[in-house]
Every structure is written in structure tokens, then in C-alpha cells.
Structure 1
């Protein structure tokens, strides 16, 4: 994280140096050096002021959530006491306590509803205090590579902590490990950030320098060679557009009626070949009248390709579907009785859960 700050400050210093040296053709080397140093200092101070302004604006909207099984973070969604967080933060709990950023007092809260397929949930304070400060959510379409980000939450139980980085990538499709409250959700359009994301950050805010929440901190990448050790500087956040869409439905209806996620209308499992290698996703049940059924797919068919994407496991099928939209058409390649076949399927919408 320090390296990120140095990089930004250095860029500002270069800009200041260029501007300072062109302001007077007769400046002495000493004068130019002094001007450059002053410009660099001014740029660094401005960035620091921006950080502190954003922290002052948004941190009061970030809370710590404690359940019987652990803790995480959340974001105040409205003045009525609704708080949005990750589904895996609340797990199976229906009651929990919440600690606001500006208080040490624990407040009781109750689960409104959870949608594990997108790893989002809403809880509500039983007795919301006056002065709650809802967060402002940004436009996901305006999130761009290189934007400065601040991650706010309670990593390792250290409430109201802030780390900084940049938007490292957008549009990532990420599969989470299965855990309590999360079936191993595959989530599309995630924001990748270099801001440190640690246990306890889940459900907290990823914020831009306009004091807008652009994502909910959800998970960090792990290194396969370190037995699950966190890969530094690779974290992922669910985008603001998904947060607001799902949260609004959970608050209004107590469930998700339009997930915005594509579905084939089947349940499936990974199938293995004679060499015990994964060989596709076999359909074990199919929704009558659903997309797959309407296209002629049947129970027992083994899906081996979705569009141009090779399918070897159920997870690869789920990941491929997460990158598509309901209503789009895709060619499904499958085997039936040893014969390879194709079907054009108009994707439906993943139902509520």
C-alpha cells in the first residue's frame, strides 16, 4: 500500500516539476529545484487532504457486524437502519449486533433477507439512532482502471480501518470458496483493487475520491502454493450497481425477484471421464418450460461448451453463465448417447433463493 502512495505522489511531482520549470526560462538550477520540491509537497498535501476528506465523508457510514460465528463489516444503506453487507458475513444468523463508526455501543439488528447467489444481504437495526449517515453509491459504469480507492471496514476486528490502492481491473468474474452463508457464489463484473482486503473487511466499503461507494469489499485472492495464503494486493469488490439492485429488492420484497444473472434453467454436476478427469457438466434436473428445456436439452445431457467457452466442470459452467446476460442467445454444445450435438438457447434469469 505504501508503494501505491509513492507512485501517486511521484506522478504529481513530475507534473509540478514540468510546470515549474516552464514558468521562467531564466530560473537557476537551485530555483528550479526549490520550485519542484514545493510543487511536489503541494501535490502530496492535496492528495492527503483528499484522503482525509473522503474518510470523513464515508467512514461514519461503515459499521462493524458481529454474529455468534464471527465479525465483518457493513454499509449504512438508508436512514431507516437498513445496512447492506455480504451474505457470508451474516451466515445463518438472523440476529446480530452492529457497532457504528462513531460509537462503542453495540446495537441489535435483525436479518432482513439474504441472497447468497450474489453474496449480498441486508440487516436492519432494531432501534435506529438519529443521525445515521447513509452512504452514497457511485455509477459502476464510471469505474475505471487506475482510479484511487480506499477500502473501509474492520479487518481482523480493527474497526474503522482504512487502506488505499487503485482500481486494478474491472469486469472480473470471481468464484468464492463455499462457506457458511455462501454456496461458493460466482459473481461477475467485480472490481479488482490493490487496496488491502483482509478477514473482517468483508461487507465494508470500497470508495472513490468523490466519496462514493463503488463496491462492497468481498474477498482477497489466495495463492495456491501457500495453502490458502492471501495474495497481497489482489482484492475484489461487488460493484455498486449490483449492490443497489439486490439491496432494493431485499428491502422491498424480502427476496430477489430479478437477479440480473443468466441461467439455463437446470441443475447440474461435474462428470468425470474414464481417466477420472472432469469432462463436463451433466444435467441432473431441468426446469419445465425453461430455457434449456425449450431448446430440447434433457436430463443426462453433458454440457461441454457454452458459446466458445469449454465446459469441464460445474464451476466452469457457472463462471461462463456469470459473464452473460438474461435474454442473450448462446449455443450450447453437449453430448447425448455418445453423440455431440448443439442447441441454441435463449438464457433466462437465475431465480431468487
Structure 2
């Protein structure tokens, strides 16, 4: 549990927008945040990774945050997990400590699953929560500055279904101090797990000062949990097509080319086909097709509806997505001593 009343040193609160505070009644908002934090804090754990990349077990990097599904399994972000650590130490809110191991990663959503010592044959408990509502208060929690207290930022849910449906967007500040921690609503219900997702070519850390942060929705994590618990690495899906790029927001997705022996070609798609829908979602523009594809995983079997001849009815083909090449993420170095607040030099 956290010590509450007034937030202790090391816990910082960002209430974004005087209108939000005024509309919420000031002190009553603070009390509601207190209740939400106290409901969630017991599941917020501190993680330390040792000897990344198989180096000798040595000095720990700065701590990161995780969210305990139960006493045996923890979800976190893939931040600082580009390589597999030689050792992981998980500290619970009540002071208990357990060793852990990295079981799998969802590379597309930047979520990682850890199994704690003593788990045996226990399977992870799926997270419960709900979808975020645009405009509602969102609280981002971490356990980095102190193992005994949570750090938090507060904002609102800015958008849902972002990045191909992979993320809920918030202006509660998201950074290495809460990556892997929960994003919760004012009633304490879980909305998602905070991750360093970003549009292509950027990193989540790059977006910190812009008030843009992302969390993977609860349902997305729960749906992939059995595969991750079995050790499967989940990667982004690939169609294997070339699309026009002159005006992606308005241009229809007529295929410029189809990769030989790729997923689309194997499904029977041809250059010149116009994709009307993918996985049951209409794709009127190039941008929309790219958005839908980015939310699908390698190995997903989906229906694709195409128009090949204007004089003939559309045809439906079955397609199994291939594996997209990994993006080259910006190199991030973790400090080896203590973590500073993001606004400190």
C-alpha cells in the first residue's frame, strides 16, 4: 500500500488544465485520485534488470515499473528489454521480493510478460478493465523513485484506437518512470499498460514533452496472454504489397505491386487490385489500410475484400499475414545509479 494523505516526496502530480480541476471540484478530484491510486498501487511493482545481454550479474540499471497480474506473473513494457537480462528482481508494494524471468515479448505493442519464481504450472490471470473514454481522467502510475511509494501523473484520455488500434492515447505524462505501469481511470479501473509506443520513426521518449503518451488497452493484452505465456513472441503483421504514396489520406488503396511469394501474393492478390476491406474493417484510403494492417499480428488469418474489375462484384480472399521487419528503435541508455525526474538536469 502507499502512504497517502498528502503525496509524499517522490510522488508528483500533474493536473493538466485548470478547467479540468475546476469542473471536478478541486479537492474532490484529489480525493478521487487518492482512492484510485490506493486501489491500484498494490499491483504496481518495481523491477530491476541485471546483466543485460548475458553479462555477468552485476550493478542493476535504474528500476522500471511492472503491473502484477497475480503473485506469479507480471506485465511490463519492453523498455530496457532489448536484450534478455541475466536476472530480474521484482519488488511488490508490500516489500516482498521475487526473482523473475522474461517469458515473451509483444514486439508490436511493446509489452513484455515476466514469470516469477514459484509460478510452477500456474497460468497468468488475465487483466480486467475497460476501454478508455475520450475526455475522462487518466492516471499513469509507476514505482521508480521509491520502492515504497508510487509516482503518478494525471491527465485525460486524448484518443482511443490509436496506432492501428494498438493504443489508447493520453496526455498524462508517459516516460521511463512509468513505462510498464498501469493507466487507470478515476474509479481505479485499469485502462491499459503504459508503453513507449510512437508513430514510425519516433520513440515514446521523444514524445514526452509534447504531452502524448500511449497505453496498450486491457483487451489487447488479455487476448494475447495465452500465446505470450506459452513463450510466443508476437510481431507486427505484413501484407507484402506496395501502395501509392502521393496522397495517402485520400487515395484509394490500389496495389502498385505485390511481393512475389509474399502473403498477399499467396492469397491471390494482384497488382491493380483495390482493397475494400481488411479483417472486416473498411479501407477507403491508403492511410486506412496501413492503419488497419498496423494493428494486426504476424500469423493472423484475415479476410481481404478486393475489387479487381469495376464490372465484376468484389471478391473475398483469405490471407495469412507475414512478419514485418523490426523497426530500428532509437538507442536508449539507462543510468546505472539512480533515476532522476524527467525535468531534472
Task: Provide the rounded CA distance (Å) in 1 between the counterparts of 2:289 and 2:26.
Answer: 47
Counterpart for residue 184 of structure 2: 207
Task: Provide the rounded CA distance (Å) in 2 between the counterparts of 1:115 and 1:73.
Answer: 17
Q: Does residue 4 in structure 1 map to residue 16 in structure 2? A: yes
Task: Provide the rounded CA distance (Å) in 1 between the counterparts of 2:319 and 2:153.
Answer: 39
Q: Does residue 161 in structure 1 map to residue 151 in structure 2? A: yes
Q: Deviations over 1:87-125 (max 9, x none)?
A: 344322154423435266753211122221332221111
1:1-150 matches, cutoff 5 A: 2-4=14-16, 6-12=18-24, 43-67=25-49, 68-69=51-52, 71-79=63-71, 81-93=72-84, 95-102=86-93, 107-127=98-118, 137-140=128-131, 143-150=132-139
Distance 1:188 1:108, change over 3 A: same
Equivalent residues, number: 272
Distance 1:154 1:220, change over 3 A: farther
Task: Provide the rounded CA distance (Å) in 2 between the counterparts of 1:48 and 1:95.
Answer: 41
TM-score (normalizing by structure 1)? 0.62
Task: Provide the rounded CA distance (Å) in 2 between the counterparts of 1:323 and 1:99.
Answer: 30
Once the two structures are TM-superposed, the CA of residue 218 in structure 1 deviates from its matched residue by 1.1
Q: Deviations over 1:52-104 (max 9, x none)?
A: 1111111121122233455532110123x111122344322154423435266
1:310-321 matches, cutoff 5 A: 310=286, 318-321=290-293
Task: Provide the rounded CA distance (Å) in 2 between the counterparts of 1:54 and 1:272.
Answer: 45
Unmatched tracts of structure 2, length 5 or more = 1-12, 53-60, 120-124, 247-253, 277-282, 325-345
Counterpart for residue 10 of structure 2: none
Q: Does residue 219 in structure 1 map to residue 191 in structure 2? A: no
Counterpart for residue 160 of structure 2: 170
Alpha-carbon contact 1:292-1:345 (below 8 Å) kept: no
1:252-263 matches, cutoff 5 A: 253-255=230-232
Once the two structures are TM-superposed, the CA of residue 247 in structure 1 deviates from its matched residue by 1.9
Q: Kindly indicate which of the two structures has a greater share of residues assigned to helix.
A: 1
Alpha-carbon contact 1:61-1:135 (below 8 Å) kept: no
Q: Does residue 238 in structure 1 map to residue 216 in structure 2? A: yes
Distance 1:270 1:145, change over 3 A: closer
Alpha-carbon contact 2:196-2:213 (below 8 Å) kept: yes
Query: SS at the partner of 2:162?
Result: strand
Unmatched tracts of structure 1, length 5 or more = 13-42, 129-133, 174-186, 274-278, 334-341
Distance 1:270 1:329, change over 3 A: closer
Q: Does residue 308 in structure 1 map to residue 284 in structure 2? A: yes
Once the two structures are TM-superposed, the CA of residue 305 in structure 1 deviates from its matched residue by 6.9
Task: Provide the rounded CA distance (Å) in 1 between the counterparts of 2:79 and 2:240.
Answer: 23
Distance 1:64 1:171, change over 3 A: same
Task: Provide the rounded CA distance (Å) in 1 between the counterparts of 2:129 and 2:143.
Answer: 22
Higher relative contact order (CA 8 A, sep 6+): 2
Task: Provide the rounded CA distance (Å) in 1 between the counterparts of 2:21 and 2:294.
Answer: 38
CA RMSD, 1 decimal: 4.2
Once the two structures are TM-superposed, the CA of residue 137 in structure 1 deviates from its matched residue by 2.4
Task: Provide the rounded CA distance (Å) in 1 between the counterparts of 2:274 and 2:43.
Answer: 46
Kindly name which structure, 1 or 2, has the bigger radius of gyration based on alpha carbons: 1
Q: Deviations over 1:29-55 (max 9, x none)?
A: xxxxxxxxxxxxxx4332222111111
Distance 1:123 1:8, change over 3 A: same
TM-score (normalizing by structure 2)? 0.63
Once the two structures are TM-superposed, the CA of residue 199 in structure 1 deviates from its matched residue by 2.0
Q: Kindly indicate which of the two structures has a greater share of residues assigned to strand.
A: 1
